[in-house]
Amino acid sequence: MIPPALARLSRVWFPTKKRPASGVENGHAKLIRAGFLRPSHAGIFHMLPLGRRVQTKLEELVARHMEHMLAASRVSLSAVSSQSLWDKSGRLENTASELFKFSDRKNVGYLLAPTHEEEITALVAQTAKTAKDLPLRLFQITPKYRDEFRPRHGLLRGREFVMKDLYTFDSSKESALETYDNVRLVYSQIFEEMKLPVLAAKASSGNMGGNLSHEYHLPTPLGEDHVISCDSCNYVANEEVAESVLSDQVVSDTTFRVWRGITKDRTKLVNVWYPKQTQPLGGGALREYTDLDINIAEVKSIIPDLDAGVEDALPLWSTAAAAGGTAVELVNIVDCRLPLSFSESLVGTKPTIPSWPKNLTPRNQVPVSVSVQNTNQWNKDRPLNLIRIQTGDKCPSCASGHLKAEKAMELGHTFYLGTRYSEALGATILVPNDERKAVPMQMGCYGIGISRILGAVAELLMDEKGLNWPVAIAPYSCVIVMGAGVDEQDAVEVYRQINQIGRVQAKYLDVVLDDRQKTLPWKLMDADLAGFPIIVTLGREWLAAKRLEVQCRRLGVKQAVGITELPQIIAKLHGDL
């Protein structure tokens, strides 16, 4: 590859800010201070030149794998989608609260697309008519829109975001599942190229449809998901679908706690009964549980409209019950480790367990229905476990393994959709049989959050000095910093030497010269803040003995080398990053 003309930071808009007085900042704050982006509105951001370079590299890396490894064709669908299509698929009502909806002057309903299953299915339905027209692999990298109730963590939970989505269409279930496995392999290669420790976890399909999906998670304390993995086998699952061996035993019938939640319409109070403490199988210290250990995903499998963000549900439900006119309900959900007699005691005219909150109107004065749920909704044969899986629990997949539970951020998701959308939107093909029967296409959809990766990597790899990009997506992989008194032609020669390394290795090194009229310490601090993987400095050592200082903060490298040694050092650092 022929490198472009000499890249100079003096030609790049690079608006950095001073370090905050507190000295404490997260990755998003560092992205702003380093001049990668600026906030526009709540959950919406402007990308500045350095941020745009990272985003572009991410897009090019992902697109290369889509095109070369999967032979996928790139499209660009409109950001405006039809509400009528979403109504046909059944998703308009279910996702209404997260959609930016509007109408045109003829009062036709539209929305800003958070994803494009409906539109791509309708498009393909118009063109593909027989099995000979399949398989199809179509992908795009475009902005998406979601009206987040509480945008937070910058790019990790925004209202406008850039996403790669791939849509596949096959003529049979067998070929669709083969496609699914191929895409999963390519996803692993994408994250490996960025050298990110991503976990591929079995997951719930949610309202996307289908019964097979995997999430790709980056472990981080800021993550909103919990991923469960085994230390002995390859078992990895999202907490929503993860299982563990229920080895804990209830100490006694009276050691229980209750956590109370409420539905979004405030008409249903949920009592979640769980053991206060248990003793691990084989003895040992008692394990204490609190409300923080409640498996909210399991509760929501029974009460889908649970408002998990409410901390004190009782006053809200009391108000709804006292208002009258609306049927209110009390649902008791009981953990499997509490005995059947406990569940039985929660119903009847005089319950022996305090199911009814003491500080509410007496039960006999409020028209309310009471019910008990103690069945797992995901798997009827699996006990209802209302306690989150804990680190150290036994693995359900192997005899010797123990599980690790950690917070993680979802970077990608793969779904085998089957005929979820093709049936609803009439995407059918004629198959070669005696009857020329029309059958719905088999579909899959596969997403990667481009802007989310940018935000997640910033959080994961930052340190006290600044950002720390993987070389594959860094705004520049190497910066040459020249101090006062250094002849610019010397710096240009070093620039050319490093570019020559790329030509010899058939790998282009993205080099930039920091020729700004600033002091050397100022430029070095800027280079650390921006997270350039390799820093080559022409300072006092160069003026005195023609020696360069090569730094790589991520690998802990800082050494003085001669210009003849430079190619070997840079090539090794680039390969290790």
Whether residue 3 is contained in a domain is answered as: no
Radius of gyration of the chain measured on its C-alpha atoms: 28
Containing structural domain, residue 370: 249-388
β 368-373/403-418 pair status:
unpaired
Kindly state whether residues 68 and 194 are assigned to the same domain: yes
Q: Which amino acid is at 148?
A: E
Strand ranges of the sheet holding 100-103, from the earlier edge strand across to the other edge = 80-82, 109-112, 100-103
Kindly state whether residues 260 and 372 are assigned to the same domain: yes
Within 466-537, residue ranges assigned H as helices are: 488-504, 520-530
Whether residue 439 is contained in a domain is answered as: yes
Mean pLDDT across the chain, nearest whole number?
86
β 225-230/403-418 pair status:
antiparallel
Kindly state whether residues 259 and 374 are assigned to the same domain: yes
Mapped onto helix, strand or coil, the DSSP state of residue 175 is helix
Q: What is the mean pLDDT of residues 409-435?
A: 89
Q: Per-residue pLDDT for 362 more than 50?
A: no
pLDDT of residue 3: 47
pLDDT of residue 227: 92
Kindly state whether residues 179 and 67 are assigned to the same domain: yes
Whether residue 303 is contained in a domain is answered as: yes
Domain count, the chain: 3
Q: Per-residue pLDDT for 90 more than 80?
A: yes
- Report the 3 state secondary structure along 286-335: CEECCHHHECHHHHHHHCCCECCCCCCCHHHHHHHHHHCCCCEEEEEEEC
Q: Per-residue pLDDT for 355 more than 70?
A: no
Whether residue 393 is contained in a domain is answered as: no
Closest CA relative to residue 120, chosen from 73, 88, 167, 82:
167
Task: Determine the distance from the C-alpha atom of residue 545 to the mean position of all C-alpha atoms in its chain, rounded to a whole number.
Answer: 50
pLDDT of residue 363: 46
Q: Per-residue pLDDT for 162 more than 90?
A: yes
Whether residue 174 is contained in a domain is answered as: yes
Other C-beta atoms within 10 Å of 516: how many?
Answer: 17
Q: What is the mean pLDDT of residues 229-236?
A: 91
Whether residue 431 is contained in a domain is answered as: yes
Distance CA 427, CA 176 (A): 15
Tokens of 51: 């941020």
β 109-112/100-103 pair status:
antiparallel
Closest CA relative to residue 445, chosen from 263, 238, 160, 213:
213
pTM for the complete prediction? 0.85
Q: What is the H or E stretch that residue 183 is in?
A: helix 173-193
Distance CA 214, CA 217 (A): 10
Distance CA 289, CA 258 (A): 11
- The burial of 449, by beta-carbon neighbours within 10 Å (0-12 exposed, 13-18 middle, 19 or more buried), is given as buried
What sign results for the dihedral spanned by CA atoms 144, 145, 146, 149?
A: positive
Kindly state whether residues 195 and 230 are assigned to the same domain: yes
Mapped onto helix, strand or coil, the DSSP state of residue 298 is helix
What sign results for the dihedral spanned by CA atoms 39, 41, 42, 47?
A: negative
pLDDT of residue 346: 73
Residue 210 pLDDT grade (very low, low, confident, very high; cuts 50, 70, 90) = low
Mapped onto helix, strand or coil, the DSSP state of residue 94 is coil
pLDDT of residue 364: 42
β 160-170/478-482 pair status:
unpaired
Kindly state whether residues 368 and 273 are assigned to the same domain: yes
Within 9-128, residue ranges assigned H as helices are: 27-33, 49-70, 83-89, 117-127
Kindly state whether residues 255 and 370 are assigned to the same domain: yes
Closest CA relative to residue 541, chosen from 525, 526, 563, 524:
563
Q: Which amino acid is at 284?
A: G
Mapped onto helix, strand or coil, the DSSP state of residue 434 is coil
